[in-house]
Amino acid sequence: MKVSLGRPMKVNNFLTTLNIKLIANRNLKKIEARAWEAIKKISKSSTNKAAIDAYEKEME
């Protein structure tokens, strides 16, 4: 699964609409990389919890 904030131009247009300082393309890529790692971590723990819950429910 690929995570993307969208094209940098779209992100910066959105930020401009909100009167927020623009973000350089290079920095957007760094932010995406950090977000991807966080999403993977949360996804893995959520999947593990769901598997454990399903197993426990099946054993009842």
How many CA atoms lie less than 13 Å away from 40 in the CB half-sphere?
A: 9
3-state secondary structure of 6: coil
Per-residue confidence (pLDDT) for residue 6, from 0 to 100: 61
Say if 56 falls within a structural domain. Answer: yes
Residue 4 resides in a domain: no
CB-facing half-sphere around the CA of 30: CA atoms within 13 A: 5
pLDDT tens track, the chain, 60 positions = 454 556 777 777 778 888 888 888 888 888 888 888 899 999 999 999 999 999 999 988
**Quick one: pLDDT at residue 1?**
45
Number of structural domains in the chain: 1
User: Hunting for tokens 């991807």 — which residue is that?
Assistant: 36
Is position 42 within any domain?
Answer: yes
Contact 22, 16 (CB under 8 A): yes
Three-state SS for 33? Answer: helix
6 within some domain: no
Q: pLDDT at position 25, please?
A: 80
pLDDT single digits (tens) 28-45: 888 888 888 899 999 999
In a domain, 12, yes or no: no
Would you say residue 14 lies in a domain? no
- Residue 41: which domain range? 27-60
d(CA 33, CA 5): 11
